Amino acid sequence: MIVIDSLLIVNSYNREYVIHVFDKRNGSFINNFLKIGNGPGEFISSGFRISKIGKMLYVYSPSVNLMRRYYFPKLLNNSIPEEEVSFKEDSRIIVPIKNNYIASTYYKERFLLYDHLGKRLSKYDSFPRFFNDDDSSDLRTFYLNYQLINVKPDQTKFCSTTLAGSLIQVFNINNGSIELVKQKGFEPPIISKSKEKRGFADKECILGFRHIQVTDEYIYVLYCGTKVKDLNKNKDIVSSNIYVFDWNCKPIKKYEIKDGRATCFCIDEQDQKIFLYSILEDGEATLSYFKL
């Protein structure tokens, strides 16, 4: 979810379009955009990462390793991108930072740095170790499965958090390299030792940060707090709290979510609101907001 001007842009879950657009002032539905299909300007599969810089909307399609960049006001009238960038490596997440791109890969390096044309510049391959008996290959699998990333709006830093356990790390880009600036762990990830689930969270592991959004001042994270073994039969990972940290990983504030079923959110700095996307117990999807 992101906000641009008076519009709320929500990732689509209907496998027909990439995004739904709503009026943030009254919640009214405006339209669907970026159709999934095989035609000109369409996407061939579902599952996307959406990010923005100003009014530029970036849509990464992991199935084809392709980033498309749109000027959002034009997108409302057509689906032709301003630019397309292809990447050689398979990556789960790619987001823009300055004139570069940061990638979180599926199988190999933890982070990759690309230039604006998709040329690989450098890698960052350090994985924090919480316990002495942590296996390095298990740690790699764990972080590549559970980490989230987001970029500070002023483009000077990016942060990474983990879904299993609760770790925040802040990085910057210096002379074409990724550098760790700050980190803080709140709950260590418990990694399964069974042969069938090597590198995945153990049933006793607490699920931590479900979703992440950032402003120039703060890092906002949806916190789950449920052990893997206590998830419901649908394995819904929902959250009842949003925690706020500064860019030195210092805790600042906590917001409680009334329905306790949020799966993602976004920050509207202009109107000082947090918009929430929630899945209720009966399966109904809802949009709501509260004031900061």
The model's pTM is 0.90
Residue 189: predicted pLDDT: 82
pLDDT per residue as tens, the chain (292 positions):
999 989 999 987 667 888 889 999 998 999 888 888 877 777 777 668 889 998 899 999 888 889 999 998 888 887 788 889 999 888 889 999 988 999 998 877 889 999 999 999 999 988 877 665 566 677 777 777 788 999 999 999 999 998 888 889 999 998 889 999 999 988 888 888 777 667 788 889 888 898 999 999 999 999 988 888 887 665 667 788 999 999 999 999 999 988 778 888 999 999 999 999 887 777 778 889 999 8
Measured distance CA(120)–CA(130) in Å, rounded = 30
Residue 36: predicted pLDDT: 84
- 87-291 to CATH, choices 3.40.50.2020, 3.10.20.30, 3.40.50.720, 2.40.128.630: 2.40.128.630
Contact at 8 Å (CB) between 62 and 49?
Answer: yes
Cα pseudo-dihedral 100, 106, 110, 116, rounded to 10: -10
Domain boundaries along the sequence of the chain: 1-86, 87-291
What is the dotted CATH code of the domain comprising 1-86? 2.40.10.480
Taking 3-state DSSP, the helix, strand and coil percentages for the chain, each rounded to the nearest 5, stand at: 5, 55, 40
